[in-house]
Amino acid sequence: MKIKILPRVFSLMIAVMLAVLSAVLTWGTTQAYVFSANWSGNGATWKYGSSLPSSFQDGTSFGAYAWTSIGSSSWTYTYNSGSSNEVRYVNIDGGSGKLAETSYWVDGQGYITQFLIEYDNQENWYTGSSTPGGSQIDLRSIAAHEFGHTLGLWHTDTTCNGTSSDATMCPFYTGGSTWWRTPATDDIAGITDYYP
């Protein structure tokens, strides 16, 4: 007995099998990082704005260099007092929960051309290098997260549990924690893909 498969049904079966095979082969390697835009090159400069306290400078630099130090990417941040990219210390929402904010400008080709990072001056900041108190906001962690945004990274699509394995680009921060300081596997995959 011969089975005759209509061409349309056969094509549909092949498409479904290919989709399943593709999902199986890429499962486990799929990334959750989300990019909105990227720079045309592999580096950018920044400067401290006049409103930024000197106690915030080390933590801010740490956040930038957290991305520069990723060996699988050629991305570099460089401090330059003449840069058009600035980091400021301003009142964002009066201590109502928004710790910092990053804005960037994109040209007609979709490339980032300039950015602005602002820390909320109404928050309980920890500017040191060890572990902050439970009610303090770790500047180094927030700086790393915000500099991730200046690369074009949005918040990750992974589940964030507030642990050290979470991505720096997780959408929330737990007071007193330092896990955002170091880009995790998903963050590294993102910067490597866009800035190899």
The residue range of the domain holding 168 is 43-186
> Is residue 76 a part of any domain in this protein?
yes
Count of domains in the chain?
A: 1
Burial 85-111 (b: 16+ CB within 10 A, else e): bbbbbeebeeeeeebbbeebeeeeeee
Burial class (CB in 10 A: 0-12, 13-18, 19+), 3: exposed
- Residue 172's SS3 state is coil
> Is residue 19 a part of any domain in this protein?
no
> Is residue 5 a part of any domain in this protein?
no
Q: Using the predicted structure, report yes or no on whether residue 53 has a pLDDT greater than 60.
A: yes
Angle between the N-to-C axes of helices 57-68 and 139-150, in degrees from 0 to 180, rounded to the nearest 10: 50
What is the C-alpha to C-alpha distance for residues 21 and 27, in angstroms, rounded to an integer?
Answer: 10
> Is residue 38 a part of any domain in this protein?
no
| Location of structure tokens 């109502």 | 96
pLDDT digits (tens, 9 = 90+) for 119-128: 999 999 999 9
Strand residues in 72-179 grouped as ranges (E) = 76-79, 86-90, 100-106, 112-120, 125-126, 137-138
> Is residue 117 a part of any domain in this protein?
yes
Q: Using the predicted structure, report yes or no on whether residue 25 has a pLDDT greater than 80.
A: no
Average pLDDT of the segment spanning 155-159: 83
CB 154, CB 169: distance < 8 Å = yes
Least confident of 60-64, 132-136, 165-169: 165-169
CATH of the domain at 143: 3.40.390.10
Neighbours of 77 (CB within 10 A): 21
pTM equals 0.82
> Is residue 15 a part of any domain in this protein?
no
> Is residue 29 a part of any domain in this protein?
no
What is the C-alpha to C-alpha distance for residues 147 and 62, in angstroms, rounded to an integer?
Answer: 10
Q: Give the angle subtended at the CA of 187 by the CAs of 152 and 66, to the nearest 5°.
A: 85
> Is residue 33 a part of any domain in this protein?
no
